[in-house]
Chains A and B, each alone.
Chain A
Amino acid sequence: MNRTQPITLLVCALGGEGGGVLTEWLVDTARHAGYAAQSTSIPGVAQRTGATTYYIEVFPVPLAELGGRRPVFSLSPVPGALDAIVSSELLETTRQIGNGMSAPQRTLVITSSGRTLTTAERMQPGDGRADAQRLLDVVKAFSREHHVFDMGTVARDAGTVVSAVMLGAIAGSGLFPFPREAYEQVVRGGDTSAPEKLSKMAAASLRGFAKAFDTVGTPRAQAALVTRLLSSQGDEAPVQPTLSAEMARAFPPPTHDMLALGHARLVDYQDETYAALYLERLQQALAAERASDPAGAHGFAVTREMARWLALWMAFDDIVRVAELKSRASRAQRVRNEVKAADDDIVRVYDHFKPGAPEFAALLPASLAHRVTAWDRRRKTPFALPLKVGSHSVAGMASLRVLASLRWLRKRGSRFAEEQALIERWLAAVVQGTRADWRLGHELALCGRLIKGYGSTNERGKRNLLHVIDHLAVAPLPDGSPAARAAAIAAAREAALADEAGTALDATLMRHGAPPRPVIAQPIRWMKRPPAATP
């Protein structure tokens, strides 16, 4: 009985990446090279960005030598019986390996290092991204041989789509017994004219094909490319601000980088005196940490984290800050790059603002601010001003600059006072906690992460933080030991970042014997159909 088996290839792609074209290319290549081949796919709703797979089988013996016999090909990929998996997205590669597709003794895996994040990963309030390193480890662990490179970048550089790159990778791997020319011939669409005469599209496809062919075909080139890509990953690294001598003396080295960034941020945000206040507050944290960990066994992590989160909170976002950031020349340039505008293209930039009463009240002294917010609360719907400010226009830029120049007003504003009070409460809690138990202080310091953004997001963050401080750090708990409190706070912080409704947070709070957050009133348009009238 003849034991020769077909060569099997599973292709994983996302909708709209040309997987269909790729399989057509492969089947045509096989035909022109004189081999029996078959492809199948589950395109389904592929074009709708879902994950999709294509499956190709090629019989390794030329048709001419089969004496009229025709191999029976499988329509679906057989787990553990694949010779290769080629994939344009790292998570999808890992998914197929998780389905048992790849056999370490047999399967060659060629995958893009690129990630197209799933909605579930993108929508988390914190960072919901899957750990790419962990995904790569699976690829390494469950493949006979693996090639990893950023197919998306190669495609962009060549000005083509990822399907051409995947074809090049397959050809370069030598999986099928076809010569390189056979593939290229098909990509040319039988067009034998010289490269310069080729259609733009075919030429681009061939460039992408060649790049991937060499990448996979010649490991050295691949290594070089990978390193180049890696180096290009961390593009312009932010310039590290320098630390004044006495600041350097006042704080232990492990905190210096954060300290320098934080200090610079506050000078940029407000002024030297405000930055000085920052240092002074940080000193309190440092003193507390020195008391509970004189040896610095924890590398002054509390102070370091406070240097980060204190700076971010003190530089709270308001319309003044936003106007400042949006009216910088560097920003205008960044936008030009992001939208890939050519030099002689004109770029018009419209910024979406919707300042409400609170935003304006923030800059007014408390008494006035209260009146404004009270007026706003009386309205049926809260006042808000939807604006599209053309920061490319004179009027637009001028108004942004005027707003940005209101820095002096910020310090006199009601919000400034409120924020400072809250910051002090948090700082006090951190200091107290640190003195009681280093870990407790550390967890409280990390809670600075809960404070971010504007308007409702910012309000929510502050409410959560205060609730955590009041009920987990201070108020009596079933288990009031510092260690237990630290654990509870850590859990609460993670939960607070899990969902915006705070369902997870409330659950965690209650689990640790603390009350859930009070429900805040929200106006609802009520419509109640009356039940059928009884005759």
Chain B
Amino acid sequence: MEVSFSKEIEALRLGAGDTFHGEGILAITKGLLQSGVAYVGGYQGAPVSHLLDVMVQAKPYMDELGVHVEACSNEASAAAMLGASIHYPLRGAVTWKSIVGTNVAADALSNLSSPGVKGGVLIVVGEDYGEGASVIQERTHAYALKSGMCLLDPRPDLGVMVNMVEHGFRLSEHSNMPCMMELRIRTCHVRGSFECKNNLAPLVSTRALMEEPAGFDYMRLAHPPVTFRHEKLKGDERLPAARRYIAENRLNELIPGTHADLGIVVQGGLYNSLVRSLQQLGLADAFGATDIPLLVLNVAYPLVPEQVADFCVGKRAVLVVEEGQPEYIEQEIATLLRRRDIQTPLHGCDMLPAAGEYGVEVLATGMAQFAQRYLPQHAQHSAQGWLVGNRERRAAVATQLEAPLPARPPSFCIGCPERPVFAALKLAQQDSGPVHIAADIGCHAFGTFEPFSMGHSILGYGMSLASRAGVSPMMQRRALSIMGDGGFWHNGLLTGVQSALFNGDDAVLLIFKNGYTSATGTQDIISTPDDEMKEHAVDKQQSLVDKNQTIESTLKGLGVQWLRTVHTYRVDKMRKTLNDAFTSDFNGLKVIIAEGECQLERQRRIKPWIASLLKKGERVVRVKYGVDEDVCNGDHACIRLSGCPTLTIKDNPDPLKVDPVAVVIDGCVGCGLCGENAHAATLCPSFYRAEVVQNPRWHERLLHSVRGAVVRALQPA
């Protein structure tokens, strides 16, 4: 990737006496180094991408410390990497986006949890739940429960988060349980500060190698019969050990309140929202001094039964604030209260919504109920006024607007190489009829939004080809599977291609070869054009993905016979190729490689290059497309075939006409799609391509002046 994290890397070097200022996820990264982590792995994905990106770029410093960093091919390989901590005193950390990443990693996690770990293991997952989430809404909590892993859910305060990282490793070592740490989106991106400690170079590291492998120990294998013993150990030894550590080190926080006969049990991650909702109700102050006592669970699993029981016993009521369903914590508390015959009334999902993100307004609404019932003397006028006011205001705005506002989903970047393919696909379906489209995870999923609105299913990252295996045999026309190169390497190659070839499926696969896992922040993959290539490229504006043929050779090696590579911006050629694939007599797997480098990466390379050329006064050609406002017919067919942010509309300058005309605004990178579409779809002839030559050479100037004179002579006013 072309993004630089030099500033962040400097922050990683801070030591005792320094204060760290920055984002949560970077603080966690610093915490890993302060804990003497020996190896780090993972797979990118919001909101935890930065952890790995920064570490990968910080390689020189990691080598200094002897820390190994691995950018794994998927979450499964990241989880499997943790196997190193089964035998050896190595502290390991991996990271990925949950719930999706945890699903992919599940197998290895089970087989890691069964024998348990010797070196501390921390799995940092981005709990992508609620507002702004880009994946299905499920809880990581379930995995902690089923596999027997600790689940840390630290209060979103940088100091606490880093502290929990350090405890996480020790907790893991005391209990032999792997520890997960769930971080919500806003927690990862919260800006704050904490007092640093020195980073610890691991005792065993890439600089201090082990001489001998561990001796054979069947107990360390996740293999019968010892797995039965492991299952017992989980309950008999590991959980009790974990609970002891949690209690002794006070990982969960008890915050006293004036109404000692009430209580709230809250996940650490929700602490700030809860306190703010209490403030709104006049039950807490700006510094978190609260009227109702709180038990803040920085460790969401396992609970410490004694701690919870002591907190609940003798209270008039306890409310459990737990985000997402099912309400595992509430259920466990209910059970343990019942077992101890503690009669304290328990509330949770009866007062708070079972699903969705717990924002301040949602929490305050539930808290108001709780207060109403158990603190009737507490005045709620202002709080109720606020809540009712919100509801009324929303209704008022809706009525004033009459129609709902148009949504603004993310879309392909300006000049994105994937947009033209969807234009071609739209045209191809006009030729050979509509097809079933198995979509996938990645930037190309934006093709499901307007103006394309294409795709029948999304079954997971790299799953598109596999997900049509049951569809295509049942349909007269062929089904199309769309996959990015990210998804291809993540698992599409095996779950899709290998399976389709083995079964001799009649399938069409289109692979977007843009050279990076772009949707997660343009991380490099095995088919990324290497840096030397970029260095030596004479014209750095060109797409360079064609220089790396790993995908092609892999497919050929696997036995793919029908393979076409098309440059994505050649809309007409792509349209023809798609039609061929849909109608060809060849009944095996047909693969189209749509080649075009990620425009984000290209621009990050091009901008400084152009700037340097101009600085040196050298010749530069800048391309921009445009629309002739007096020729444009105001039908906007071009936009329905593109959706590029820089192809928009403006008032019609012609006083006779009323419909707005298309216009190409600043920011156009001259990708060429407008012209290609104009030809492929026979749009109106209003598009032009303008090449601006800066610092032209002398003979160009000469030619231009002569030519200009003649042209001007021909031109009418």
Instruction: Report A's interface with B, CB cutoff 8 A.
Output: 1-6, 14-15, 23-24, 27-28, 31, 38-51, 59, 69-76, 78-81, 91-92, 94-95, 97-100, 102-104, 116-127, 129-130, 134, 137-138, 141-142, 238, 257-258, 261-262, 265, 308, 311-312, 317, 319, 322, 325-332, 335, 338-342, 344-354, 356, 384, 386, 388, 391-394, 397-398, 401, 449, 452-458, 500, 522, 524-529, 532
B390: A residues at CB distance < 8 A: 79-80, 100
Task: Please measure, in the bound complex, the distance between the C-alpha atom of A116 and the C-alpha atom of B408, giving whole angstroms.
Answer: 10
List of B residues within 8 angstroms of A15 by Cβ: 410
What are the nearest 4 A-B pairs in CB distance?
A453-B633, A50-B410, A42-B132, A48-B410
Given contacts A346-B692, A500-B637, contact A40 B186 (CB under 8 A): yes
Question: Which B residues contact A (CB, under 8 angstroms)?
Answer: 21, 46-47, 131-132, 134, 156, 185-187, 189-193, 271-273, 275-276, 279-280, 285-289, 359-361, 386, 389-391, 393-394, 396-398, 400-402, 405-414, 430-433, 443, 446, 449-451, 473, 475-478, 506, 519, 579, 582-583, 600, 622, 624, 626, 628, 630-631, 633-637, 639-640, 643, 645, 647-649, 653-660, 664, 666, 675, 678-679, 682, 684-685, 687-694, 696, 700-701, 704, 707, 710-712, 714-717
Note all chain A residues with C-beta closer than 8 A to B690: 335, 338-339, 341, 347-350
Cβ–Cβ contact B401 & A138, under 8 A? yes
CB contact under 8 A between A452 and B656, given known A330-B717, A393-B707: no
Contact yes or no, A123 B643, CB < 8 A: yes
A-B contact pairs, 25 of them (CB 8 A): A40-B186, A41-B189, A44-B46, A48-B446, A50-B410, A72-B276, A78-B276, A78-B280, A80-B389, A95-B408, A100-B397, A117-B649, A119-B449, A134-B402, A141-B400, A261-B656, A329-B712, A345-B692, A351-B685, A354-B682, A391-B688, A397-B714, A452-B659, A526-B583, A529-B478
Say yes or no: A31 contacts B405, CB within 8 Å: no
**Separation in Å of the A129 CB from the closest CB of chain B?**
7
* Interfacial chain B residues near A452, Cβ < 8 Å: 633-635, 657, 659
CB pair B406–A2 under 8 Å, yes or no, is no
A529 to B658, CA, bound (A): 48
Contact at B694–A342, with CB atoms within 8 Å? yes
- B478 x A339 contact (CB < 8 A): no
In the complex, are the beta carbons of A349 and B477 less than 8 A apart? no
Cβ contact of A527, chosen from B193, B407, B477, cutoff 8 A: B477
B660→A47 contact, CB < 8 A: no
Complex interface: chain A residues within 8 A of B432 (CB): 524-527
With A341-B692, A352-B685, A527-B583 known as contacts, the answer to whether A329 contacts B394 (CB < 8 A) is no
Residues of chain A with a CB closer than 8 A to B711's CB: 332, 391-394, 397
Given contacts A50-B408, A317-B631, contact A119 B450 (CB under 8 A): yes
Q: Which residue of A lies closest to B128 (CB)?
A: A44
Contact B400 A137 (CB under 8 A): yes
Given contacts A100-B394, A449-B658, contact A122 B636 (CB under 8 A): yes
Distance in Å: Cβ of A480 to nearest Cβ of chain B = 30
CA distance A350 to B672 in the complex (A): 12
Residues of A within 8 A of B411 (CB): 48-50, 119
> Quick one: given A71-B286, A345-B693, are A47 and B413 in contact (CB under 8 Å)?
yes
How far, in angstroms, from A468 to B279 measured CA to CA in the complex? 63
Partner pick for B401 among A4, A70, A98, A317, CB 8 A cutoff: A98
Which A residues lie within 8 Å of B285 (CB)?
Answer: 1-3
- Cβ contacts under 8 Å, A39 to chain B: 190-191
Measured CA separation A401–B414 after assembly (Å): 35
> A257's closest neighbor in chain B, by CB?
B655
CB-based nearest B residue for A41: B189
Q: Residue among A6, A97, A98, A258 with the most chain B CB within 10 A?
A: A98
- Which residues of B have CB within 8 Å of A47? 413, 600
19 more contacts with CB within 8 A, not counting A458-B633, A524-B431, are A43-B189, A46-B410, A48-B446, A80-B389, A92-B408, A102-B393, A122-B643, A125-B637, A142-B396, A325-B628, A345-B692, A352-B688, A356-B682, A393-B711, A397-B714, A453-B633, A454-B684, A529-B478, A529-B506
Across-interface contacts of B600 in A (CB, < 8 A): 47
Nearest Cβ on chain A to B193's Cβ, whole angstroms: 8
Could you count the A-B residue pairs with CB atoms below 8 Å apart for me: how many are there? 360
Nearest to A351 among chain B residues (CB) is B688
Residue of B nearest to A458 (CB): B633
B710 close to A394 (CB less than 8 A): yes
Chain B minimum-CB-distance residue to A237:
B655
Complex contacts, B659 vs chain A, CB 8 Å: 126-127, 449, 452
Say whether B451 contacts A38, CB under 8 Å. Answer: no
Chain A residues with CB under 8 Å of B675's CB are: 350, 352, 388
Contacts of A24 in B (CB 8 A): 191
B275 and A72 form a contact (CB under 8 A)? yes
Q: Which residues of A contact B664 (CB under 8 A)?
A: 338
A261 touching B289 in the complex, CB below 8 Å, given contacts A5-B279, A453-B633: no
Bound together, the chains give a CA A242 to CA B415 distance in angstroms of: 45
CB distance from A352 to the nearest CB of B (A): 4
The reply to whether A97 and B397 form a contact with Cβ atoms under 8 Å apart is yes
Taking a contact as CB atoms under 8 Å apart, the answer to whether B446 and A528 are in contact is no
Contacts of B582 in A (CB 8 A): 525, 527
Chain A residues contacting B477 (CB-CB under 8 Å) are 527-529
Chain B residue contacts of A100, Cβ below 8 A: 390-391, 393-394, 397
Bound-state CA distance A42–B280 (Å) is 23
A261 to chain B, nearest CB (A): 5
Task: Give the residue of B583, B655, B701, B716 whose beta carbon is less than 8 angstroms from that of A328.
Answer: B716
Q: Measured between alpha carbons, how far is A46 from B600 in the docked complex, in Å?
A: 13
- In the assembled complex, the Cα of A14 lies from the Cα of B409 at a distance in Å of 11
A346 CA to B693 CA, complexed, in Å: 5
CA distance A129 to B660 in the complex (A): 9
Q: Which residues of B lie under 8 Å from residue A97 when comparing CB positions?
A: 397
Contact B406 A127 (CB under 8 A): no
- Interface contact A71-B408, CB-CB below 8 Å: no
- State the CA gap A5–B287 with chains docked (Å): 9
Q: Could you tell me if B682 and A384 are in contact, using CB atoms closer than 8 angstroms?
A: yes
From B190, B397, B660, B685, name the one whose CB has the most chain A CB atoms within 10 angstroms: B685
Q: Is B631 a contact partner of A326 (Cβ separation < 8 A)?
A: yes
Contact status B636-A125, CB under 8 Å:
yes
CB-defined contacts of A104 to chain B, threshold 8 Å:
393
CA distance A52 to B693 in the complex (A): 36
Q: Are B715 and A6 in contact (CB under 8 A)?
A: no
Select B648's contact among A69, A102, A117, A332, beta carbons within 8 Å.
A117
A59-B192 Cα distance, complex, nearest whole Å: 13
Enumerate chain B residues within 8 angstroms of A102, measured Cβ to Cβ: 393
Contact of B678 among A43, A72, A342, A352 (CB under 8 A): A352
Chain B min CB distance to A118 (Å):
4
* CA A339 to CA B694, docked complex, whole Å: 12
CA distance A98 to B411 in the complex (A): 23
Residues A326 and B684 in contact in the complex (CB < 8 Å), given A51-B408, A119-B643: no
Contact of A312 with B657 in the complex, beta carbons under 8 Å: yes
Alpha-carbon separation in the docked complex, A54 to B21 (Å): 18
B410 CB to nearest A CB, Å: 3
What residues of chain A lie closer than 8 Å to B406, measured between beta carbons?
Answer: 91, 118, 120-121, 130
Q: Which residues of A contact B657 (CB under 8 A)?
A: 312, 452
Chain B residues contacting A5 (CB-CB under 8 Å) are 279, 286
The CA-CA distance from A328 to B649 in the complex, in Å, is: 23
Please indicate the chain B residues that have their CB under 8 angstroms from the CB of A98 in the complex.
Answer: 394, 397-398, 401, 405
Report A80 CB to chain B, min CB distance, Å. Answer: 5
Pick the residue among A79, A119, A453 that contacts B684 (CB under 8 A): A453
Residues of A within 8 Å of B396, CB to CB, are: 142
Once the chains bind, are B688 and A348 in contact (CB under 8 Å)?
Answer: no
For residue A73, which residues in chain B have a CB less than 8 angstroms away from its CB? 272
A45 and B688 within 8 A (CB) = no
Which of B287, B402, B407 has a CB less than 8 Å from the CB of A71? B287
User: In angstroms, how far is the closest chain B Cβ from the Cβ of A479?
Assistant: 28
The CA-CA distance from A325 to B659 in the complex, in Å, is 19
From residue B8, how far is it (CB to closest CB) to chain A in Å?
12
A31 touches B21 (CB 8 A): yes
